Amino acid sequence: GSKAGVKDYKLTYYTPDYETKDTDILAAFRVTPQPGVPPEEAGAAVAAESSTGTWTTVWTDGLTSLDRYKGRCYHIEPVAGEENQYIAYVAYPLNLFEEGSVTSM
């Protein structure tokens, strides 16, 4: 279970069946989940917080489509020889990034 104030991102941002597209920007993050947090949830949290997870007003007001902009953790694997260390693979849609904006990267 999640604690109060902690979002559950796995349902929305962990998509193991997702097939990456030629237009996706792919990234790999090394993650160390907190005790009791499954690696899939940690990977999903990275995808959420680095894309649309903080845009609550946009989604609740129905101003745009979450699926069009969200990052997706599509694969997670343990780091060989490292306890509780994982590589989370995240695909970001090109639409998430503003053209010419280095800070978006």
Quote the pLDDT of residue 31.
96
Summarised one tens digit per residue, pLDDT across range 46-55 is 988 877 665 5
Res 10: pLDDT: 80
Task: Please say whether the structural domain 10-94 has been given the CATH code 3.30.70.150.
Answer: yes
Question: What type of residue sits at position 35?
Answer: P
d(CA 45, CA 33): 10
Count other C-beta atoms under 10 Å from residue 8's C-beta: 13
**Burial class of residue 43, CB neighbours in 10 A (0-12, 13-18, 19+):** buried
Main-chain dihedrals φ then ψ at residue 15, nearest 5 degrees:
-130, 80
Q: What pLDDT sits at residue 53?
A: 61
Positions in the chain whose pLDDT score sits under 50: 1-5, 59, 105
pLDDT at 5: 46
